[in-house]
Amino acid sequence: MTDPVSFFRDVASQHPRCFWLDGGGAREWSGRRSIIGWLEDDDVSLTWSAARREVRAHAGGSSTVVGDDLFEVLEERIGAGEQWFGYFGHATRTDLPAPPDPSLPDAVWMRPRAVRVFEHAPLQESPLERGLPRDAAVATAQPRQSPPTPVTREVPEAYAAAFAAVQEHLHAGNSYEVNLTHRLTRESDLDPVTAYLRLRELNPAPYSGFLQHDVVDARAWLLSSSPERYALITPDRYLETKPIKGTTPRGTTAEEDDGHRDRLARDPKTRAENLMIVDLLRNDLSLVCEVGSVEVPALMQVETYASVHQLVSTVRGHLRDDVTTIGALRALFPAGSMTGAPKLRTMQIIEEVESSPRGVYAGAFGWISGDGPADLGVVIRSLTTDGGGTWTLGTGGGITVKSEVAEEWAESEWKAERLLRVFDRPEPL
């Protein structure tokens, strides 16, 4: 069988518009199938500009405005038997406050002419690397490197001011929890394909993937290594989301690692954060699901990845007959774990306190079928660029009244640190 990495390199070099939904770092719940696809010159892709409030269709070297709401355009254009691949950026919904991305399209969706499917071998585990993908793990039970040292030891004034403003809103009762994030940039001439291959080695995850949309005035590269499910819609119309609230670094020994894992599972503040987002998502699903069908089959389970343990819940419901796939994805967007609760008021707070737009970060990336099913991850642990040499990534975490500014800043730094290693790591074989 053709090696997916070699095949991916060839596709990305030959086709300006292409993608890889990468199952190499998947879990049992997300499957181990990779999909690599590409567009020919006359195939259609859609982009959304929140600043201009226009959806453009790109094909044959030209583009035309085809609407002013991406969800509506997708609803009209996705036909039975088709699959579309792409991302919704944070500012995709027109009825919610979010500043536009100044560099990349706020959304990109592609209808490929051809796709290639690869099945990945089952993952193996070693005692120390419990839950880790084989290609991320040490082959034997040797100690891991120490958790990353924060790049900046002192809390910057801008972050401290934003944190203080969030605390004022929390104490005033305007929100129960606010996901406070910020954008980091790195200048590098590293090409996106090499960068992605480094990222998938450093941080394999269930929603790993690569998107390239090399089109004049709509250039975008998204390199994802996200562990979080935004939405799965099954053929029998069940809608499932898996919010993450609660993250801690891995330990350097098996004993230390178990200690981190256990503390995460028991920490009252973390459990309260997770529960608030579960309640928000139960409400979101109730807007589109049958009465009485919304349930929480898994509450606050610890999942383990290459660099972190995370506290994950699952919320599930059965879609009403009058709700389409696009309608369900819109109602859920953006992911509650990336906003806070309640969603609208908290997004207003986020717009007020955050100094930079989120762009693709905090959005969703995956595929949608015209026959109903869909599967998208939340855009976290990801890198973006417009190809001009500037790379961006978002990082942050949930803030409650019990949060400490130094702890939250440190958490945001070590979440970003593993991604920043991409720019310092030798090229993968």
Q: What are phi and psi of 248, to 5 degrees?
A: -145, 150
Per-residue confidence (pLDDT) for residue 426, from 0 to 100: 62
Q: Would you list the domain boundaries of the chain?
A: 4-423
Closest CA to 126 of 113, 104, 142: 142
pLDDT digits (tens, 9 = 90+) for 305-336: 877 899 999 999 999 999 999 999 999 999 99
Three-state DSSP at 100 gives coil
C-alpha of 309 from chain center:
17
* Fold of the domain spanning 4-423: Anthranilate synthase (3.60.120)
Please say whether the beta carbons of 349 and 163 come within 8 A: no
Choosing from 129, 177, 228, 303, the catalytic residue is 228
Please say whether the beta carbons of 186 and 385 come within 8 A: no
Quick one: residue 172, left, alpha or beta (phi over 0 = left, psi -120 to 50 = alpha)? alpha
Q: State the amino acid at position 113 in one-letter form.
A: R
Choosing from 177, 242, 245, 273, the catalytic residue is 245
Peptide linkage before 100 cis (omega within 30 of 0): no
In the residue annotation, 273 being an active-site residue is answered as: no
Per-residue confidence (pLDDT) for residue 357, from 0 to 100: 97
In the residue annotation, 245 being an active-site residue is answered as: yes
The ranges of the chain with pLDDT < 50 are: 125-151, 429
Per-residue confidence (pLDDT) for residue 372, from 0 to 100: 95
Per-residue confidence (pLDDT) for residue 3, from 0 to 100: 87
Alpha helix (H) residue ranges in 67-225: 70-77, 157-171, 192-202
- State both tokens at 87: 């991302």
